[in-house]
C-alpha cells in the first residue's frame, strides 16, 4: 500500500513539474525504478569513521540510506562529498537515515587519500559510511539501474528498495519529497 502511495505521490509530482501528460523518458526511468531492490551483497564491510563495520549494521540503525556513487580522482566529486556532509544535518532525518558513499576506483588503502582531497575542499565531520569499489561491482551487480541515475544518488529503505532518485537537497521540491518519503514509518 505504501509503495502505491509513494509511487502515486511521485507520479503527481513528476506530472506537476512538466507541462504535458506524457512523461519524458528519464522521468519514466525514475518512476520505473521506484520499489526495485538494490543489490549491495558485494559489500560485506564498509568504512565508518576510523573503523570497518559490517554492512548489515547500517540497516539495524537506519530506516533509509542514500547511496552516493563517486569516483576517486574526480575533481568535482570531492565538493559533492563535502556538500552531503554539510547539508543533510538541517533536514532533520539523521536519526533514522544515513548515507553510504560508494567510491569507484581505489583500494581501501587509498581511502585516507580520498578524505584528504575532500578536506582540501572544505572541513566536515566524517559521519557517513563509505565503501571502496575498485572493480565496479556495484554497477555490474545493479545492471538494471541506469548508470546516469546511479550517479544522481538513490535513496533506499532498509529492505534495499528504491524510494527516491536524486539529491535530497537539490531543490525545495526534492527536499519536500525526500522528507515525505523518509518520515513515513
Q: For residue range 63-109, list pLDDT tens digits in order.
A: 999 999 999 888 999 999 999 988 887 776 678 899 999 999 866 55
- pLDDT value at 19 more than 50: no
Q: Supply the pLDDT for residue 1.
A: 52
Alpha-carbon distance values, 54 to 12, 40, 173 (Å): 38, 12, 34
Q: Angle at the Cα of 35 (from 32 to 39), degrees rounded to 5? A: 105
For residue 153, pLDDT beyond 70: yes
| pLDDT tens column, 105-151 | 866 557 788 888 999 999 888 889 999 898 889 999 999 999 999 99
Dihedral (C-alpha) 167, 88, 108, 72: value to the nearest 10 degrees? 40
Question: Which domains are present in the chain?
Answer: 2-182 (3.40.30.10)
Angle at 25 between CA 6 and CA 70, to 5 degrees: 75
What does the pLDDT read at residue 22?
77
**Hey, CA dihedral for 58, 180, 9, 172, is it positive or negative?**
negative
- pLDDT over 90, % of the chain: 53
| Helix, strand or coil, per DSSP, at residue 131 | strand
Q: What is the pLDDT of residue 72?
A: 87
Cβ atoms of 51 and 19 closer than 8 Å:
no
What pLDDT, on a 0 to 100 scale, did the predictor assign at position 170?
Answer: 92
Would strands 97-104 and 45-48 be described as parallel, antiparallel, or unpaired? unpaired
**Mean pLDDT of the residues in the chain:** 85
Tell me the pLDDT tens digit for each residue of 35-64.
999 999 999 999 898 889 999 999 899 999
What is the secondary structure of 27-83 as a DSSP string? HHHHHHHTTPBPP-TT-SEEEETTEEEEHHHHHHH-SEEEEEEEETT-TTHHHHHHH
**Sign of the dihedral through C-alpha 38, 157, 58, 68:** positive
Please tell me the distance from the alpha carbon of residue 26 to that of residue 33, in angstroms, as a whole number.
11
For residue 5, pLDDT over 70 is answered with no
Beta partners for residue 54, in sequence order: 45
Amino acid at each position: 500500500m505504501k509503495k502505491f502511495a509513494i509511487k502515486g505521490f511521485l507520479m503527481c509530482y513528476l506530472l506537476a513539474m512538466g507541462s504535458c501528460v506524457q512523461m519524458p523518458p528519464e522521468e519514466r526511468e525514475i518512476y520505473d525504478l521506484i520499489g526495485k531492490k538494490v543489490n549491495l551483497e558485494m559489500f560485506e564491510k564498509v568504512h565508518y569513521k576510523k573503523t570497518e563495520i559490517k554492512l548489515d549494521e547500517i540497516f539495524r540503525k537506519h530506516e533509509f540510506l542514500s547511496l552516493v556513487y563517486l569516483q576517486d580522482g574526480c575533481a568535482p566529486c570531492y565538493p559533492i562529498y563535502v556538500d552531503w556532509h554539510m547539508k543533510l544535518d538541517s533536514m532533520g532525518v539523521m536519526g533514522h537515515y544515513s548515507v553510504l558513499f560508494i567510491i569507484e576506483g581505489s583500494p581501501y588503502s587509498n581511502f585516507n587519500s580520498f578524505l584528504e582531497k575532500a578536506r582540501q575542499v572544505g572541513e566536515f565531520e566524517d559521519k557517513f559510511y563509505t565503501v571502496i569499489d575498485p572493480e565496479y561491482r556495484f554497477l555490474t551487480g545493479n545492471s538494471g539501474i541506469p548508470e546516469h541515475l546511479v550517479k544522481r544518488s538513490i535513496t533506499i529503505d532498509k529492505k534495499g528498495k528504491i524510494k527516491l532518485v536524486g539529491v535530497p537537497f537539490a531543490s525545495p521540491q526534492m527536499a519536500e519529497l525526500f522528507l515525505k518519503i523518509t518520515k513515513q514509518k
